[in-house]
Amino acid sequence: MKEKKNGPPGRTKIMKALSALIKQKDFHSITTAEIAFQAGVTEGLIYKYFKDKRDLLYTVLEEYFEAFREYIKKEVAQRETSIEKLEVVIRANIESWSANRVFARILLLEVRSSPDYYKSRAYELVKKYYRTIVQIIEDGMEKGEIRRDIKPEVLTKTILGAIEHSCLGDIIFERTIDADLICDNICKTVFKGVMP
Amino acid sequence: MKEKKNGPPGRTKIMKALSALIKQKDFHSITTAEIAFQAGVTEGLIYKYFKDKRDLLYTVLEEYFEAFREYIKKEVAQRETSIEKLEVVIRANIESWSANRVFARILLLEVRSSPDYYKSRAYELVKKYYRTIVQIIEDGMEKGEIRRDIKPEVLTKTILGAIEHSCLGDIIFERTIDADLICDNICKTVFKGVMP
DNA sequence: AAAGTGAGTAAGTTTTACTTACTTATGTAT
DNA sequence: ATACATAAGTAAGTAAAACTTACTCACTTT
């Protein structure tokens, strides 16, 4: 077996088609007709395999996310202290987005506004990722590496938010992401604080 | 003069109508027919005063943002040190969103994905807000209150991102925002760092 | 009073997401 | 092999929503 169970070829072609189109324009202005044309199938087939246009988007996102989590997991496992682990999460996250802008754009801009997204499998993966970070922080607190007067959940959100917003502008305006600079700045801020 | 130059009554009614509807459901599932009905005008009038449905949304957002900036400006002026100013920005931002969820939802979820938004007047106001914070940080660096080995722009994005992501979940799922907890946690993290 | 202007309308058209009823290919048991 | 079942794919629509166009009415200006 070369591939995972991707299902029928038409389904794969449709996902590839949207994946390609989303590089060129925003999701809202991509029509189902365009997707079908790019995939070389008819419009109706989209609705055979996906509930609706958005469901297709979530499924594409899911694929990206699976790879992303895999990568992060591997990197984290190699580190010892919780601070090192957090640093590698921050770095890997930014670098993943930098290498895979489409993924970042879908995740940060295209799906969040639809209520249905929060019932999707893709969102389940996001939550898993979130919980991984909370766990790192809780472990760090237990080991005395991280101060205990902060809520792990809020700290996680602070870190994820810092990453997201720092990359957002570059993603929207198609600029190159200076991963090192951003990572370095976020780590300095979060680990040691901004006071001299 | 009671009001600012709001333009013709129909225009105001349309904006009020969308403002009310967006409290109940997400922008995508609000139809122009609904907006017109709620406003007590015909659908065509919307297109007399606004380029399209999204343009109307940006204009509503603009109104909210104007008030937001006014409030922040006043709060900031009362503080002395740059750290105090940053703290009050964080607090005022979170409290504004807590008090005005519609505004936060539009800003964080509904407009960001459309390229047109980045040409709107509303986005200009966002940039102004961003620059205000950069300025506070630059002043702080000059006065020696903030370490100089961080880029003011990245630090600004880190702070804004931390705020946004910390509130996002509560906004989406309509939970109450614990402004004090979030503000306190972000300040602790950003000012002093997470290490004990 | 005639002309001009801006607010507002009624009745379309077009676009686009989504459906339905059908055909063609593929694999499987007798 | 042949009949049957199931899955892949298509063609031609429908419905709803965004957006247009050509018009009317009221009110001001000269």
* Domain match, B112 and B71 both: yes
> Looking at beta carbons, which residues of chain A come within 8 Å of B53?
none
Mean pLDDT score, A110-130: 96
**Of B132, B3, B134, B146, nearest in space to B74 by CA:** B132
Q: Say if CB B46 and CB B32 are below 8 A apart.
A: yes
Give me the CATH number covering residue A163: 1.10.357.10
Any chain B CB within 8 A of the CB of A154? yes
pLDDT of residue B4: 42
Q: Give which of A136, A163, A189 to mutate to test B binding, by max B Cβ within 10 Å.
A: A189
Which domain does B157 fall in, by range? 52-194
Q: For residue A76, what are the CA distances in angstroms to A85, A129, A161?
A: 5, 12, 20
User: What gap in Å lies between CA A33 and CA A39, rounded to an integer?
Assistant: 10
Count of other CB atoms within 10 angstroms of residue B30:
18
* Domain match, A66 and A44 both: no
Query: Which among B13, B30, B50 is the end of a domain?
Result: B50
* Domain match, B43 and B56 both: no
pLDDT tens digits for range A6-58: 789 999 999 999 999 999 999 999 999 999 999 999 999 999 999 999 999 99
Query: Which among A11, A33, A50 is the end of a domain?
Result: A50
Q: Kindly tell me the sign of the dihedral angle through the C-alpha atoms of B155, B160, B161, B162.
A: positive
Q: Say if CB B36 and CB B43 are below 8 A apart.
A: yes
Give me the CATH number covering residue A36: 1.10.10.60
How many domains does the structure of chain A reveal? Answer: 2
Q: Say if CB B39 and CB B10 are below 8 A apart.
A: yes
* Domain match, B17 and B35 both: yes
Output A2-5 pairs: Cβ under 8 A, ≥24 positions apart. Answer: none
**Of A33, A150, A146, nearest in space to B162 by CA:** A150
* Domain match, A116 and A46 both: no
Nucleotides of chain D in contact with protein CB (under 7 A) are 7-13, 16-22
pLDDT of residue B7: 81
Report which DSSP code applies to B175. P
CA distance A12 to chain B (A): 26
> Looking at beta carbons, which residues of chain A come within 8 Å of B109?
112-113
Q: Which residues touch strand D (CB under 7 A)?
A: A 7-11, 41-45, 48; B 30-33, 43-44, 47, 52-54
**Of B181, B189, B193, B192, nearest in space to B91 by CA:** B181
Mean pLDDT score, B15-31: 95
Q: For B13-157, where are the E strands, in sequence order?
A: none
**DSSP-assigned states of every residue in A167-194:** HHHHHHTTPPP-HHHHHHHHHIIIII-S
Interface contact flag, B186 A154, Cβ < 8 Å: yes
pLDDT tens digits for range B129-180: 999 999 999 999 999 999 999 999 999 999 999 999 999 999 999 999 999 9
CA distance A90 to chain B (A): 12
User: What gap in Å lies between CA A191 and CA B18, rounded to an integer?
Assistant: 43
Which residues, in sequence order, are CB contacts of A164 under 8 Å at separation 6+?
Answer: A108, B161, B164, B165
Which residues, in sequence order, are CB contacts of A139 under 8 Å at separation 6+?
Answer: A82
Q: For chain A, where are the E strands, in sequence order?
A: none
* Domain match, A26 and A110 both: no
Q: What is chain B's Cα-based Rg?
A: 19
pLDDT of residue B5: 54
Any chain A CB within 8 A of the CB of B191? yes
pLDDT tens digits for range B33-55: 999 999 999 999 999 999 999 99
pLDDT tens digits for range B102-116: 999 999 999 999 999
User: What gap in Å lies between CA B32 and CA B43, rounded to an integer?
Assistant: 6
* Domain match, B15 and B111 both: no
pLDDT of residue A14: 97
pLDDT of residue A1: 27
For residue A115 the two structure tokens come to 């209520």
User: What gap in Å lies between CA B58 and CA B116, rounded to an integer?
Assistant: 9
* Domain match, A88 and A40 both: no
| pLDDT band (50, 70, 90) for residue B85 | very high
Q: Kindly tell me the sign of the dihedral angle through the C-alpha atoms of B58, B64, B67, B69.
A: negative
